[in-house]
Structure 1
Amino acid sequence: MNHYQNEEDRKYERIKNNSGKLQIGPQLYENVKIDNLRVMFDLGSGAFGKVTQRVLNNRILAVKEMQKTDNEEENKRIYMDLQVITCNDCSFIVKSYGYIITFDHVYICMEKMEMCLEKLNKKYIKPQEMNIPECILGKITVPVVTALKYLNDEHEIMHRDIKPSNILIDLNGNIKLCDFGIAGKIIDSDESIGCRAYLSPERMKRSKYDIRADIWSLGITLIELATSKFPYPFESYFELFYAVTEMSAPKLPKNFSHDFHEFLDKCLEKDVEKRANYNELESMKWYQIQNALKCDVEKWLANVCDALIEDGDSEN
């Protein structure tokens, strides 16, 4: 216990010593204070913090602000964010430039993405009664699976909060995973946290779980994006609990390919022992087709956004 605590203390000291160092491309900024980052506007908020768009010397950043508390578990989530986002070299995870620690807050400075997939769905897809094409869903799936597998293989971490709001897209069509505030070591995985609507059956029941719980959440996310509606109808947590634990797993509509149906069936296998792991997903026909397929996500996104603006529904 003492050895573990000493290691945690040393890790925290290393984190504190790097506060205020921002590496943006080739430029290293040192001794940066939060007052040096001019706020432009809010980008969003969640259970563990809010995100604002800020400027440092004409460079645009997304800055996640999290308040430190006396609650040890909440602070662990903050430090997990710092640990994962500053120690990854995966191109499908949102890039961190560094962080700033003050007396009562932690600010993580990240690359600016355009929006999350939840916003894309609600603001652009549903109002126009559109659907996300299967090839685009494939170009969402491959980066997310790659990022999750990277977290597992390189850091022994599972995300534990996969949902549309934690998958981001930029105007170049790049898809990246974000928000590791509730990520955790795989060996310490019997808590039931995360957005309940996307929890796997075993997590709903507060049973032991592993990385395959994230695969279930990915499956629910993909069905929601494919159909523009959440796959389980519910008005209370009890109805949701019953649906996830007792009802059959949701299915795609018939207008999607057989291979995509097969892929999602393996993601949404209620028996966790039969559910696919990352290696099995990567070996499936649909995944391999989507990985090799040429699909212009940038052009598709531009067409979706431009269509709404032409209809006069832009929020600007």
Structure 2
Amino acid sequence: MSSSLDLRQKLNQLQISIQDENRARKERPSIDFNLESPKMPRQRPALQLNHNGGLSPHARRDKKQVQMPLTCGPINRSTIDGPEIDRKLQEIMKQTGLLTTEGKRYHINVESLESIGELGFGSCGHVIRMRHKESGTILAVKQMRRSGNKEENKRILMDLDVVLKSHNCPFIVQCLGAIVTPSEVWICMEQMATCLDKLIKKLREPVPEQIIGKMVVAIVNALNYLKEKHGVMHRDVKPSNMLLDEKGVVKLCDFGISGRLVDSKARTRSAGCAAYMAPERIDPPDPNNPDYDVRADVWSLGISLVELATGEFPYKNCTNDFEVLARVLSEDPPRLPLKRGFSVDFHSFIQCCLTKDYNKRPKYKQLMEHSFFKRYLVARVDVASWFALVMYKVRTQSSRQDRHTP
């Protein structure tokens, strides 16, 4: 009984510590871009406690393009205030209003793009599939409202800063242009075919190990690039933020809650998805100084890989986030099933990622020395053909269901 109370107190402390950073998400205004797209619904703050002390349910979830080498000055999240946000946006505005695709550069504004359909939601915006009228290029456009809330504007700046500076990384979704107006920010990104979260729901079966191996190479490279080149930690690693295209290329996206690292530590406890959160973020050794490092993202990667390899979320049958977080703290880490034919080095890689003691959990450089990573770094795996087969199966199943639907 006492341990349950202690856990509840710790989770309450976690909620209090992130409440200020996420206050804006409770009162975020709807977005209406007058492009025949639905308004963005108000998003619930992560880890919101209900009246019973529990946590709210987790809502689970081939054209050659030339990268646009936009840059802007470094952003220090801890010192940004209203005037600084406006100054940074003014810097970015001088470089925006351009779209680079197929080796050509176009001047664009919001009227240059037309809505085709909804793609989903990111950490701080609504993602719409849009067509550039002049070139015909199809884009994924993240649309964000510039509100008067400082924390929300920090998220927008962080997302912009990371994607604009990561144009030379093949494992991060590419920004082809951006539009900044006094009231809105649009990030125009290359369109990918799907995210891994949607893929496993369509597939309705586990992802083969060799496919996961190539995914691991891409995601670990992306995370290591962010850390080494820009001093950034993602903080929201999960299948819905891993994208796949028809060529079989996997890329990382959504950097709205990424954190600047100071002495390799993240000093704030921004919200992420509770289901993939590392134990040290839930119950830090020092609650008054909740610093953690990239090994928290390594844990999130491990949870994601188990989900992809088994087709099931490892902490299944939980009715709310409180139960998930309680199991993360109280149970042994998830492991791959022993009788599914997984290789020894895949078992070992998962065990490394999901080492509960973060002091013993490897960082990216160590993961890149693991035999599983090294094997798939050089292995020839036709991810594109596998994905094409998966989509064929999905379309066939959908067609059969339509024929049998009265």
- Shorter-chain TM band: over 0.9
For residues 155 and 46 of structure 1, the distance between their equivalents in structure 2, rounded to whole angstroms, comes to: 21
Structure 1 residue aligned with 2:355: 269
Deviation at 1:238, TM superposition (A): 2.0
The normalised TM-score by structure 1 is 0.93
Based on CA coordinates, which of the two structures has the bigger radius of gyration? 2
**RMSD of aligned alpha carbons:** 1.9
Q: Contact between 1:98 and 1:109, CA under 8 Å: does it hold in 2?
A: yes
The normalised TM-score by structure 2 is 0.73
Q: Contact between 2:276 and 2:303, CA under 8 Å: does it hold in 1?
A: yes
Q: Does 1:232 align with 2:315?
A: yes
Secondary structure, aligned partner of 1:142: helix
Q: Contact between 2:85 and 2:153, CA under 8 Å: does it hold in 1?
A: no
Deviation at 1:12, TM superposition (A): 3.1
Give per-residue Cα distances to partners, 1:139-175, cap 9 Å, x unaligned.
1110000000000000000100000100000111110
Change in Cα spacing, 1:311 to 1:45, as seen in structure 2 (3 Å) is same
Deviation at 1:230, TM superposition (A): 0.6
Secondary structure, aligned partner of 2:100: strand
Q: Contact between 2:122 and 2:254, CA under 8 Å: does it hold in 1?
A: no
| Alignment partner of 1:79 out of 126, 146, 157 | 157
Structure 2 residue aligned with 1:138: 213
Q: Does 1:120 align with 2:199?
A: yes
Deviation at 1:313, TM superposition (A): 4.3
For residues 227 and 399 of structure 2, the distance between their equivalents in structure 1, rounded to whole angstroms, comes to: 41
For residues 117 and 307 of structure 1, the distance between their equivalents in structure 2, rounded to whole angstroms, comes to: 16
Residue 235 of structure 1 aligns with an amino acid whose one-letter code is T
Residue 224 of structure 1 aligns with an amino acid whose one-letter code is E
Structure 2 residue aligned with 1:176: 251
Give per-residue Cα distances to partners, 1:29-73, cap 9 Å, x unaligned.
12x111110111111124421111111121111101111211111
Structure 1 residue aligned with 2:99: 22
| Alignment partner of 1:299 out of 379, 385, 390 | 385
For residues 331 and 299 of structure 2, the distance between their equivalents in structure 1, rounded to whole angstroms, comes to: 15
Moved over 4 A (4+): 4-10, 313-316
Deviation at 1:314, TM superposition (A): 8.2
Deviation at 1:186, TM superposition (A): 1.5
In structure 2, runs of 5+ residues without a counterpart are 1-75, 285-289
Residue 185 of structure 2 aligns with an amino acid whose one-letter code is V
Q: How many residues align?
A: 309
Deviation at 1:190, TM superposition (A): 3.0
Within-5 A mapping of 1:116-265? 116-123=195-202, 125-126=203-204, 130-187=205-262, 188-206=266-284, 207-233=290-316, 234-254=318-338, 255=340, 256-265=342-351
For residues 202 and 51 of structure 1, the distance between their equivalents in structure 2, rounded to whole angstroms, comes to: 31
In structure 1, runs of 5+ residues without a counterpart are none
Change in Cα spacing, 1:191 to 1:171, as seen in structure 2 (3 Å) is same
Residue 306 of structure 2 aligns with an amino acid whose one-letter code is I
Q: Contact between 2:85 and 2:154, CA under 8 Å: does it hold in 1?
A: no
Secondary structure, aligned partner of 1:283: coil
Secondary structure, aligned partner of 2:165: coil
Residue 217 of structure 1 aligns with an amino acid whose one-letter code is S
Change in Cα spacing, 1:164 to 1:313, as seen in structure 2 (3 Å) is farther
Deviation at 1:301, TM superposition (A): 0.6
Deviation at 1:307, TM superposition (A): 1.6
Deviation at 1:269, TM superposition (A): 0.6
Deviation at 1:291, TM superposition (A): 1.1
Deviation at 1:310, TM superposition (A): 2.2
Secondary structure, aligned partner of 1:113: coil
For residues 142 and 314 of structure 1, the distance between their equivalents in structure 2, rounded to whole angstroms, comes to: 36
For residues 313 and 275 of structure 1, the distance between their equivalents in structure 2, rounded to whole angstroms, comes to: 46
Q: Does 1:311 align with 2:397?
A: yes
Q: Contact between 1:192 and 1:204, CA under 8 Å: does it hold in 2?
A: no
Secondary structure, aligned partner of 2:227: helix
Q: Contact between 2:123 and 2:256, CA under 8 Å: does it hold in 1?
A: no
